[in-house]
């Protein structure tokens, strides 16, 4: 699964003592099948210990699913139901906790996605350069009241969103697992409301998806959003394998370029740079480096230095341009 990249992180609202969100992204095995599991949970702050609710849901699911001997869809369902039952029964002598949950399992061998959401944490898919919400929020709008009176703003009643379903709400929670092909999607993103409500959500999740170094982009992103978040914020992203028949040369060298998802370029860019340097294909190499610069496409620094050394070894005139790219890291 070397061509599959994924990351998850949760950012605490600076006004809170503990982060009420939890997240996970990792490669695991289910019944001997290698898969990637992504989770985002958002503890309900009006209920006891939101931080314990979200963390427990994630930990229970990861533990349960690793012990599986069932098919993927059945095991994901069973793991979520087990997590729900344990939270309903109380964790660390704490009862009444609630949390939302979004869960995705990606199976590389058959290019299938298995997903589920409970509450208003969402799952998005990147298709044709646009993010599409795949999940449906378990929530409804209600009139906002204080002391039994409806609150007004500019003469109109204030509405607020309330959950209709959550992990920990009822012991017999109904869990629906959706199965779909991953072929049409370049990436998936799981987000809590604290993240998808950010004004720059589309930009943030696209930057995270398109970067070659997800870890570095995530660190920069966490620093950036801390000053603007009003709630704890979680995101989990997986970049799926690009199109194997993608022709990078044709895309970059023709004058009128069609739309392209950057994840496709990341799949082939490294080898194309090395081959162009070897063939002394200076024009093509120039186009690739210019594209990297304009789209902020950078590999981790050791990989960038490796590419620079390859250009030097092949006496490429683009050594200076590559050096300038590395200085931006």
How high is the pLDDT of residue 278? 86
How high is the pLDDT of residue 1? 46
Q: Are strands 99-107 and 145-146 parallel, antiparallel or unpaired?
A: unpaired
Same domain, 298 and 156: no
Same domain, 253 and 235: no
How high is the pLDDT of residue 296? 81
Final residue in a domain of this structure, among 199, 217, 239: 239
Structural domain tally of the chain?
2
DSSP calls for 190-220: EE-HHHHTSTTHHHHHHHHHH-S-HHHHHHH
Residue 179 C-beta-side C-alpha neighbours within 13 Å:
11
How high is the pLDDT of residue 2? 45
How high is the pLDDT of residue 255? 53
Per the structure, the complete domain to which residue 192 belongs is given by: 5-239
Final residue in a domain of this structure, among 209, 239, 269: 239
Q: At residue 138, what are phi and psi to the nearest 5 degrees?
A: -90, 75
Cβ(127)–Cβ(186) below 8 Å: yes
Would you state the structure tokens that stand for residue 263, as one six-digit string? Answer: 């994840």
Same domain, 142 and 181: yes
- Tens of pLDDT along the chain (329 residues) come to 445 689 999 999 999 999 999 999 999 998 888 999 999 999 999 999 999 999 999 999 999 998 877 899 999 999 999 999 999 999 999 999 999 999 999 999 999 999 999 999 999 999 888 899 999 998 765 454 566 665 666 666 554 467 889 999 988 898 999 999 998 899 999 999 999 999 999 999 998 988 878 888 899 999 999 989 989 999 999 998 765 456 677 777 765 455 566 666 776 788 889 888 988 889 999 999 998 888 888 888 888 898 999 999 989 999 999 999 998 87
CB atoms within 10 A of CB 27: 13
Same domain, 282 and 171: no
Distance between CA atoms of residues 144 and 307, nearest Å: 58
Same domain, 174 and 32: yes
Cβ partners under 8 Å of residue 301, min gap 6: 326, 329
CATH of the domain at 90: 3.60.40.10
Same domain, 17 and 140: yes
Same domain, 155 and 267: no
Cβ(291)–Cβ(276) below 8 Å: no
Final residue in a domain of this structure, among 192, 211, 239: 239
Instruction: Give the containing element (helix H, strand E) for 54.
Output: helix 50-66
Same domain, 198 and 253: no
Same domain, 80 and 213: yes
Same domain, 254 and 215: no
Same domain, 69 and 183: yes
Q: Which residue's structure tokens are 């350069």? A: 129
Q: Which residue's structure tokens are 């869809």? A: 73
Same domain, 51 and 148: yes
Distance between CA atoms of residues 110 and 125, nearest Å: 18
């Amino acid at each position: 699964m070397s061509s599959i990249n994924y990351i998850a992180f949760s950012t605490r609202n600076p006004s809170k003592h503990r982060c009420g969100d939890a997240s996970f992204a990792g490669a695991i095995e289910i019944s001997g099948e290698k898969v990637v599991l992504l989770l985002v949970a958002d503890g309900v702050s009006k209920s006891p210990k939101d931080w314990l609710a979200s963390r427990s849901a994630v930990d229970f699911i990861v533990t349960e699913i690793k012990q599986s001997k069932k098919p993927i869809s059945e095991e994901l369902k069973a793991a979520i139901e087990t997590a729900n039952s344990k939270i309903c029964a109380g964790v660390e002598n704490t009862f009444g906790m609630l949390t939302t949950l979004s869960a995705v399992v990606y199976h590389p061998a058959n290019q299938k996605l298995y997903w589920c959401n409970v509450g208003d944490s969402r799952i998005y898919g990147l298709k044709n350069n646009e993010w599409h919400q795949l999940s449906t929020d378990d929530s409804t709008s209600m009139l906002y009241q204080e002391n039994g009176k409806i609150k007004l703003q500019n003469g109109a009643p204030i509405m607020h969103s309330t959950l209709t379903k959550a992990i920990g709400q009822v012991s017999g929670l109904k869990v629906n697992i959706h199965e779909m092909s991953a072929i049409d999607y370049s990436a998936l993103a799981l987000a809590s409301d604290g993240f998808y409500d950010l004004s720059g959500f589309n930009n943030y999740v696209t930057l995270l998806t398109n970067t070659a170094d997800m870890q570095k982009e995530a660190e920069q992103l966490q620093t950036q959003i801390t000053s603007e978040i009003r709630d704890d914020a979680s995101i989990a992203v997986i970049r799926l394998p690009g199109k194997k028949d993608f022709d990078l040369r044709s895309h970059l060298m023709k004058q009128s370029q069609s739309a392209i998802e950057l994840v496709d370029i990341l799949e082939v860019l490294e080898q194309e740079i090395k081959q162009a340097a070897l063939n002394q294909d200076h024009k093509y190499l120039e186009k690739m480096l210019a594209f990297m610069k304009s789209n902020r496409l950078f590999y981790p620094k050791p990989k960038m230095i490796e590419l620079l050394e390859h250009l030097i070894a092949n006496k490429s005139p683009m050594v200076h341009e590559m050096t300038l790219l590395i200085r931006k890291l």
